[in-house]
Chains A and B, each alone.
Chain A
Amino acid sequence: MWGKEERKLFTEVIRSKWFGFSVGLFLLLLILPFFIPRFYVYILALIFVTSLLAMSLNLVVGHGGLFQFHHGVFYGVGAYTVALMLKKTSLPMWTGFIAGPILAAIIGFIIGWFCVRLTRLYFGMLQISLGSLIWAIVFRWYSFTGGDDGIPGIPMPPLLSSLKSSYYFILIILILCLIAMYMILKSPFGNTLQAIRDNPQRCEAVGINVKRYQLIAIVIATFFAGVAGVLFVVLERSVFTELLFWVLSLEIFIMCLLGGWFTFAGPMLGAGIIVALRTFVGIFTEYWTLILGIMLILLIFFLPEGVMGYFQGIFKPRTRETTKGGNR
């Protein structure tokens, strides 16, 4: 399946100005762990995991126009699945790593199946309710999930025993996921999804089953959230119920808005900013959300398209207007 079109797009990607920047950044991230202290390696890895989570949410929020308010649930489901399988079963370890995203996608399908029947805000409300239900189950089911104690000390395969190897594993999975997401967004499906975001009514009129496309988008996004959940376990070796709590979902949502939800890489930038803030401002005050709140207010007033959207606006005007004719 490597036809002429793919090759054409491939050369185009390689020639684009972002490509050089991305490769440079990738190489830098590859060598960084040899030069910086352990703590920063950990923070970087945490940023990668959170980036993937925010990117997966943005598939449905920024590109799909769906108010997926409680996305954290699928992150938690992915994490808990791999944690429980590694801790409580003697199945080969890789099955747990695969089961995480798949179960997240299945739960995503079930919740999504109900939610796509509603629109806009009602979609969001139902999504929060059903998501909170999953949280409540995990929170209460002490004998199985450990309740609010979570599950500490999850065994890892020897290959991922050190922080450095976890870092590289997370980085590589992140990049593979980013490539897959980029391809999906540039595919006919991705284009159709963006058209649905802009005008669902018109999409129905051109023969698109809007609800089915939205449901597929949700399944894809929840799958990637599940991957992020697995990576979280690789990094932390423990899970706790906060992963499924709505506060985290809100944070991811803010990352998308902060970074720029109409851009591809924006949510990663948002994730980086929020994780860094939480870590470094958190050292000085436990009320770091105060800073976050102030930033949000500034954001809404001055950068409605997000940080990335702002810079894109400077470098490349989004609207190319023809000056000749037709502008009455």
Chain B
Amino acid sequence: MLQVEAVVKSFDDFKAVNGAYLTVGKGEIVAVIGPNGAGKTTLFNLITGTLKRDKGRIIFKGEDISELPPYEICKKGISRSYQIVNIFPRLTVFRNVQVAVLSQQRKSHQLFQPAKYMVVKETNNILESVGLLNKAHSIAGSLSHGDQKILEIAIALGNEPELLILDEPTAGMSPEETSATMELIKRLAQMRGLTILFCEHDMDIVFSIAKSIMVMHQGRALIQGKPEEVRKNPIVQEAYLGIE
């Protein structure tokens, strides 16, 4: 479904991503791991069009998307959440998700219809599936950090993506919240038939839910394979897992 081939991105002299390869098949859950500064978030920003790659190709469903702006890439079926909470803090939880649903249904441009009663069912369905329905009318900025991270995912779901990219979905969460969130992600993937690409620092989580793991180190893709393969790989052990 998604292929990243020899992608390079540098900021001035610093090569944040220096030869990244990644393959994501339909329906898979793929994890990207690597130490801080390995270029995981930069890679995600390149895939979603927030940044433009210097070299290489990014192919989604057989089409090169590396030159498209973010809003076009979203329309192709890629949604994302952010590592640092990135929501609409002044709007209610409901409207946060509604913005995405309206955009998905190409209704955002309508000028004289009241938005209040549009796409209510779809929006509430998403809020219910992530467990935020009872907070639908709270102002998003007033939610707890954990709920805001969940709202991140809910907004991304509003676009009915085929590929959902989650950048550290559990960053800053308590252990209970973390396991609840991972359960939620697994459940969503099954229910909606989503393909998921995510990055995460907690190795237990990564090895428990990912079908395929890609390891990044200093901007390079070291290896991509099944969890057992990655765990056994000597280069990975040396570079990242720290096992003797």
Q: A205-B50, A320-B137 in contact; A189/B90 too (CB < 8 A)?
A: no
| B89 within 8 A of partner (CB) | yes
CB <8 Å contact, A187 and B110? yes
Query: Within 8 Å CB of B139, what residues of A?
Result: 318-321
Of B90, B147, B155, B156, the most chain A CB neighbours within 10 A belong to B90
CB <8 Å contact, A188 and B91? no
Q: Which of B99, B116, B117 contacts A206 (CB 8 A)?
A: B99
| A9 within 8 A of partner (CB) | yes
CB <8 Å contact, B158 and A206? yes
Q: How far is the CA of A326 from the CA of B82 in the complex (A)?
A: 20
Whole-angstrom distance between the Cβ of A16 and the nearest chain B Cβ:
13
Q: How far is the CA of A207 from the CA of B224 in the complex (A)?
A: 30
CB <8 Å contact, A183 and B114? yes
Query: Within 8 Å CB of A202, what residues of B?
Result: 82, 86-88, 155
CB <8 Å contact, A8 and B117? yes
Q: Which of A184, A201, A207 contacts B75 (CB 8 A)?
A: A207
| B174 within 8 A of partner (CB) | yes
Q: How far is the CA of A186 from the CA of B114 in the complex (A)?
A: 5
Q: Which of A3, A204, A213, A326 contacts B69 (CB 8 A)?
A: A204
Query: Within 8 Å CB of B90, what residues of A?
Result: 194, 198, 262
Closest A residue, CB atoms, query B114? A9
- Determine the interface band of chain A, counting residues with CB < 8 A from chain B: 35 or more
Q: Give the interface segment out of B100-108, B194-202, B230-238.
A: B100-108
Q: How far is the CA of A95 from the CA of B13 in the complex (A)?
A: 60
| A191 within 8 A of partner (CB) | yes
Query: Within 8 Å CB of A208, what residues of B?
Result: 71, 99, 103, 108
Chain B residues numbered 170-197 whose CB sits less than 8 Å from any CB in chain A: 174
Chain B residues numbered 114-157 whose CB sits less than 8 Å from any CB in chain A: 114-118, 134-135, 137-139, 141-147, 155-156
Q: A187-B113, A209-B71, A326-B143 in contact; A195/B159 too (CB < 8 A)?
A: no
Closest B residue, CB atoms, query A320? B138
CB <8 Å contact, B112 and A207? no
Q: A8-B117, A318-B139 in contact; A184/B100 too (CB < 8 A)?
A: no
Q: Main SS of the interface on chain A?
A: helix
Q: Which of B99, B107, B144 contacts A327 (CB 8 A)?
A: B144
Q: Which of B48, B75, B82, B102 contacts A188 (CB 8 A)?
A: B102
CB <8 Å contact, B142 and A321? yes
Q: A188-B115, A319-B139 in contact; A326/B144 too (CB < 8 A)?
A: yes
CB <8 Å contact, A203 and B114? no
Query: Within 8 Å CB of A191, what residues of B?
Result: 91, 95, 98-99, 102, 115
| B74 within 8 A of partner (CB) | yes
| A286 within 8 A of partner (CB) | no
| B80 within 8 A of partner (CB) | yes
Q: How far is the CA of A210 from the CA of B88 in the complex (A)?
A: 15
CB <8 Å contact, A188 and B107? yes
CB <8 Å contact, A187 and B111? yes
Query: Within 8 Å CB of B74, what residues of A?
Result: 204-207
Q: Which of B70, B82, B99, B144 contacts A192 (CB 8 A)?
A: B99
CB <8 Å contact, A206 and B114? no
Q: How far is the CA of A1 from the CA of B156 in the complex (A)?
A: 31
What 1/0 mask marks residues of chain A from 55 to 99 whose CB sits below 8 Å from any chain B CB? 000000000000000000000000000000000000000000000
CB <8 Å contact, B116 and A189? no
| B18 within 8 A of partner (CB) | no
CB <8 Å contact, A210 and B107? no
CB <8 Å contact, A189 and B108? yes
CB <8 Å contact, B110 and A189? yes
Closest A residue, CB atoms, query B106? A207
| B41 within 8 A of partner (CB) | no
Q: A187-B110, A188-B108 in contact; A205/B70 too (CB < 8 A)?
A: yes
Query: Within 8 Å CB of B158, what residues of A?
Result: 206
Whole-angstrom distance between the Cβ of A192 and the nearest chain B Cβ:
4
CB <8 Å contact, B103 and A207? yes
Q: A192-B99, A205-B50 in contact; A187/B145 too (CB < 8 A)?
A: no
Query: Within 8 Å CB of A195, what residues of B?
Result: 88, 91, 95-96, 99
Closest 7 CB pairs of A and B: A207-B74, A204-B70, A206-B100, A5-B117, A9-B114, A198-B88, A195-B99
B residues within 8 Å of A by Cβ?
48, 50, 69-71, 74-75, 79-80, 82, 86-91, 95-96, 98-100, 102-104, 107-118, 134-135, 137-139, 141-147, 155-156, 158-159, 174
Beyond the given A184-B111, A320-B137, could you list 15 further A-B residue pairs with CB under 8 A, ordered by the A residue number? A4-B117, A8-B114, A188-B118, A190-B115, A205-B86, A206-B103, A206-B155, A210-B71, A213-B109, A318-B139, A321-B142, A326-B135, A326-B143, A326-B147, A328-B174
